[in-house]
Amino acid sequence: MGAVSREHRACSPCRRSWTTGDTGSEPVKTTTPTPPVVNHLLRRCRDFLPRAAGRPRRRGPRSASPGWPGPDATFGPVTAGVDLVDLPAAGRRFTARRRVRLGDAAPAGRLRLDAVARYLQDVADDDATDAGLGRRLAWVVRRTIVEVRRFPVLREQLELTTVCTGIGARWAERRTSIVGERGGRVEAVALWVLLDGASGRPTRLPPRFAEVYGPSASGRVVGARLAHPDPPDGDGAARPFPLRAADIDVAGHVNNAVYWAVLEDQLSGASPATPLRAEVEHRQALEPGAEPRVLVDGASLDQPAGVRLWVLFSRRAAAQVEVAASARAILLSGSTA
């Protein structure tokens, strides 16, 4: 038997480490997990998979990119879902201004949630464009949480500050704070998934993204698993939700802000002084020609569990009912409608 050469390798994002050896006949691999053994993809790391003999290891610029964690970086556990973390002091921060216009306000004068969703996607796009990434990357939102401390009102001037606060392999978390000149305050966080322009499937974040947003993410790794429960059995109580041509965006599917308009139907009586927390989770894209229905569980925000709803649809080739998106709204502790 020939001499054994060994190489110690580690994957910094998922903190797996292993040693490879070659006896001259076949590779030998042993794994030594560094607890806690968690993967930023919630799958096995690509660099951890066996390779064919003679195939060179990938030498990407990831560990050398400014802001992207290197081999000696320290990582916490993977965050299962998006979270309203504090805005980091370090790293890139982008600020924009908006004014609450007539088309953004509910009859009571407060800013509607679907308008908030549009503000969030607009400031995210403005930030990416300013960083030189906007035209090359296509994103879809997976989950958004909006916490309204006090609703902004008609004609109130708003300052929107957005920061990247977490990174996965194919997605990133973006925190946005909206502060109004009259006391309006909205805190939001969204998980955005990067898509390949040709296939429409999730694709890995480019090294340039890590260079721009790595410092503010500061090694925080986020997951993208679904968090909302499935709808109750039976959809007999679901009501139709007709789509309009204006609901379809440049990607050819229903824009994420439209789902917040569905939730607005349950909040029509909310006043500007009603603090609440709402979230929308997107499972599948709705395309033109779909005939979605809305199933609501809970009649009022006053209930301890708040209001839940699901946007359902059926594929033409199958009778099975599928979920396009789900939402929940609940009053913040100690508040009244």
Q: What is the pLDDT of residues 260-318, one digit of tens each?
A: 999 998 887 677 778 899 999 999 999 898 999 999 987 666 666 688 999 999 865 44
Q: Which of 158, 192, 225 is the last residue of a domain?
A: 225
Cβ atoms of residues 151 and 269 within 8 Å: no
The structure's pTM equals 0.74
Cβ atoms of residues 112 and 153 within 8 Å: no
Is 151 found in the same domain as 82? Answer: yes
Is 247 found in the same domain as 207? Answer: no
pLDDT tens-place string over residues 114-154: 999 999 999 999 999 999 987 777 899 999 999 999 999 99
How many Cα atoms within 13 Å fall on the side-chain side of residue 113? 31
Is 208 found in the same domain as 78? Answer: yes
Distances (CA, A) of 312 to 41, 238, 243, 244, 291: 28, 8, 13, 16, 9
**End-to-end CA separation in angstroms for the chain:** 78
Q: Is the pLDDT of residue 24 over 80?
A: no
Q: Which of 225, 254, 272 is the last residue of a domain?
A: 225
Is 69 found in the same domain as 33? Answer: no
Q: Residue with structure tokens 């973390």?
A: 85
Cβ atoms of residues 83 and 243 within 8 Å: no
Is 243 found in the same domain as 221? Answer: no
Q: Is the pLDDT of residue 13 over 80?
A: no
Cβ atoms of residues 143 and 256 within 8 Å: no
**78 CB contacts (<8 Å, ≥6 apart)?**
38, 39, 40, 42, 221, 222, 223
DSSP codes joined into one string, 218-266: TT-BB-----SPPPPS--TT-EE----GGGB-TTSSB-HHHHHHHHHTT
Predicted pLDDT at 297: 86
How many domains does the structure of the chain reveal? 3
Using DSSP's 3-state secondary structure scheme, residue 181 falls into: coil
Return the beta strands (E) in the chain as ranges.
5-11, 16-22, 27-31, 94-99, 138-150, 157-167, 171-180, 185-195, 239-240, 276-282, 293-297, 307-314, 321-331
How many Cα atoms within 13 Å fall on the side-chain side of residue 79? 18
CATH number at residue 123: 3.10.129.10
Of 1-15, 133-147, 174-188, the range with the highest mean pLDDT is 174-188
Task: Confirm whether 56 is domain-assigned.
Answer: no
Is 284 found in the same domain as 188? Answer: no
What is the helix (H) or strand (E) element at residue 215, kind and residue range?
Answer: helix 207-217
Is 73 found in the same domain as 90? Answer: yes
Task: Quote the mean pLDDT of the chain.
Answer: 77
Is 160 found in the same domain as 41? Answer: no
What is the helix (H) or strand (E) element at residue 119, kind and residue range?
Answer: helix 113-130
Q: 45 vs 102, which has greater pLDDT?
A: 102
Domain that holds residue 198: 63-225
Dist. CA 101–CA 103, nearest whole Å: 5
Is 262 found in the same domain as 221? Answer: no
Longest dimension (CA), the chain: 82
Predicted pLDDT at 233: 79
Dist. CA 76–CA 90, nearest whole Å: 18
Q: Is the pLDDT of residue 238 over 70?
A: yes
Whether the link from the prior residue into 36 is cis, omega within 30° of 0, is yes
Q: Which of 225, 254, 280 is the last residue of a domain?
A: 225
Predicted pLDDT at 68: 40
Task: Confirm whether 54 is domain-assigned.
Answer: no
Predicted pLDDT at 211: 93
